[in-house]
Amino acid sequence: MRTITELQSGGSRLSSLDAFRGFDIFLMILVNYLADMKGIPFFLQHAQAKFNGFTLADTVFPGFLFIVGVSIPFALSKRMNQREATTAILKHIIIRSAALIMLGVLLLNSSSYSAQYTGISKAWWMTLMYLGTILVWNIYPKVNKPWQKYCFQGLRLFGTLLLTVLIIIFRGEISGETVWLRHSYWGILGIIGWSYLNASLLYLFTGGSKYKLLTAMLLLVATYIPVQYGLPCWLKPVNAFLNMGTFATHTAIVLAGTMAGITLMNCHSPEQKRKCLWFMLLFGSSLLMAGFMLRPLFGFSKIRCTDSFALATSGLCCLVLLLFYYLIEIKGWKKWSYWLLPIGINPLLAYILPDILGRLFNLTGTGKWFWPYLSAGGISGFLNAAAMTLIVLTLTTFLTKWRIILRM
């Protein structure tokens, strides 16, 4: 079993970024368990569509988009510095994006799943889908013996075949009509996939220039305005496929993170670190103020991902990352964050584990043992959600140490 320090693979990772990512996933799991529960404080629930503002729960998804952006320079600059062929880098970007988009679509369509037309129960279909996902995208350890390599290759091949069969047999039901997979708004992971694709391509073809990326981010934010006032007929099919307004603002959040990542990637000496702190403080504060200045136009809305919401939450995320960076990288206070690192290293597994557990509860009939206060709400419901969150984090920690790590 590997230690978390070993899994962080030396200096190629920032502990503060992994800790921030782990903290964001922790909040994501908790607020998902609390969703629609009665008697829960307002700030832990998602704001309604018509509400002009956002809660703590509403900042979780922008936080993850921002973190995706921070990771892009660390992931791609190494390939670019090693003079890896552009086609190879493009292949890497496209494969990762396609995997996220595909998984996002599968999870999105699960809400319309029809056991009658598919032929197996939803719990079994979802459990097998997660099994295939883990087998395909797990990072298998490097081995020297041929039989071990063939074994891992066989597991990945079996996972691919399993997912293929599940996709082929899938049938949903909407308004009495039998349907196959539909993209709709692409799902959470799908949005991450599209935003990662867009931001990565911009980073690659601008050579990682912060000024060019800032220009692209501002143009994407500005795109939201004409979309709301009406698009030309020739753009409406594109808008129906991608929803250009939210597609642009989601990508803008990722680009904000990318600029923060470029800054942190070049912080080595004490003097450079001080400059990084001032840049992050100025950049985050500017984005936050810009968001409030644009608020009268379309308001703050997570559901519509308005331009003001994208800027304000990007600014908040930048400032929170600055705090994590200062405490962990500058002051050296690391021990308090160790419980967050496994989740930060293995966020995709932590994200899908609550649903995996839910499906297993359905199959085994043990849900009432772990979730007795599902409908109670209030303090008992909150404590039950907190306990379930702790179970997920503990499982993620053990699975991460045992090298069950998903990487798309």
**How far is it, in rounded angstroms, from Cα 268 to Cα 258?**
18
Decide: pTM greater than 0.85: yes
Confidence of residue 12 (pLDDT cuts 50, 70, 90): low
Average pLDDT over residues 334-357: 94
pLDDT one-digit tens code per residue, 19-39: 999 999 999 999 999 988 899
Determine the pLDDT at residue 7: 54
The answer to whether 353 and 392 have CB atoms below 8 angstroms apart is yes
Positive/negative CA dihedral, 203, 227, 241, 171: positive
Determine the pLDDT at residue 8: 54
Determine the pLDDT at residue 368: 83
Please check the confidence at residue 318 and state whether its pLDDT lies above 90. Answer: yes
Residue 161 domain flag: no
User: Could you list the residue range(s) of the whole structural domain that residue 304 is in?
Assistant: 4-114+171-399
Residue 284 domain flag: yes
Residue 166 domain flag: no
Number of domains making up the chain = 1
Residue 164 domain flag: no
The answer to whether 244 and 227 have CB atoms below 8 angstroms apart is yes
pLDDT one-digit tens code per residue, 252-299: 999 999 999 999 998 888 888 888 999 999 999 999 999 999 999 999
Residue 142 domain flag: no
Residue 26 domain flag: yes
Residue 155 domain flag: no
DSSP string covering 142-204: P--SHHHHHHHHHHHHHHHHHHHHHHHH--EEETTEEE----TT-HHHHHHHHHHHHHHHHHH
Residue 353 domain flag: yes
- Which has the higher per-residue pLDDT, 195 or 232? 195
Determine the pLDDT at residue 155: 96
Instruction: Give the range among 64-78, 211-225, 261-275 with minimum mean pLDDT.
Output: 261-275
Determine the pLDDT at residue 3: 52
DSSP string covering 88-126: HHHHHHHHHHHHHHHHHHHHHHGGGB-HHHHSS-HHHHH
The answer to whether 392 and 350 have CB atoms below 8 angstroms apart is yes
User: Considering the chain, what is the average pLDDT of its residues?
Assistant: 91
pLDDT one-digit tens code per residue, 319-331: 999 999 999 999 9
